[in-house]
Amino acid sequence: MSAQVKTLSEIIEETAREWRPKLNALETKANELEEKVNLLAERDDDLAGNRATRLIDNFSASIDVLEKKLETAVSEIKSVRHQIADVISRIDRLPVVSLDEAKEIYESEKPSEFVCSQCNCGLPSGDEQTCPGCGAPLQGQDTELVPKAKVRELLAAKHKCAKCGVPVNIADSACWSCGSTKAVVAKA
């Protein structure tokens, strides 16, 4: 057996010939993967940029809407302030009366407590001798003073006195005019 001894450079050359295609293939694959990684990184940057741009655009649109609403609100507040100032100005120009004058005005405009049973005219004090509306005597037996609330009640009454025919409330025990205790249904 003859053993052939190879030199170190021959071993290196033989190993290089055997492994060079494999190394070249691996280097090509590494380069391809690096290109793909770079492409993906660029896409990610583009997407992030687009997303950021979209977010900024959306925020800008929202800010524009809010600014318009704020302008409208400020305008409305100014309008209300002017209206309040006008009302205050009008109030300041109103005539001022004392408490005594206010009482006099109230007393003069207060509705009458009594009315004439003949014409339903309001009576200022109830002490009049004749009705200011129809001239009928007020202190005689035929005419009497009736409280206004009673008149309203009697006008809505569905019954009348069987003796004198005036409207009566069926809940009353006797006719307010003649004293009769009998009532009949009023015809409409």
172 and 150 in a common domain: no
Question: What's the pTM value of the predicted model, to 2 decimals?
Answer: 0.29
183 and 147 in a common domain: no
- Residues 30-74: tens digit of each pLDDT: 899 999 988 888 887 777 667 778 888 888 899 999 999 999 999
The pLDDT value recorded for residue 188 is 58
Question: What is the extent of the structural domain holding 163?
Answer: 158-188
Q: Is residue 42 included in any domain, yes or no? A: no
Average pLDDT over residues 165-176: 78
120 and 143 in a common domain: yes
DSSP string, the chain: -PPPPPPHHHHHHHHHHHHHHHHHHHHHHHHHHHHHHHHHHHHHHHHHHHHHHHHHHHHHHHHHHHHHHHHHHHHHHHHHHHHHHHHHHHHHHS----HHHHHHHHHHHSPPSEEETTT--EESSS--SB-TTT--BSSSSS--EEEHHHHHHHHT-SEEETTT--EE-TTSSS-TTT----EEEPP-
150 and 112 in a common domain: yes
Q: Is residue 117 included in any domain, yes or no? A: yes
In this prediction, residue 17 has a pLDDT band, given cuts at 50, 70 and 90, of confident
User: How many domains, the chain?
Assistant: 2
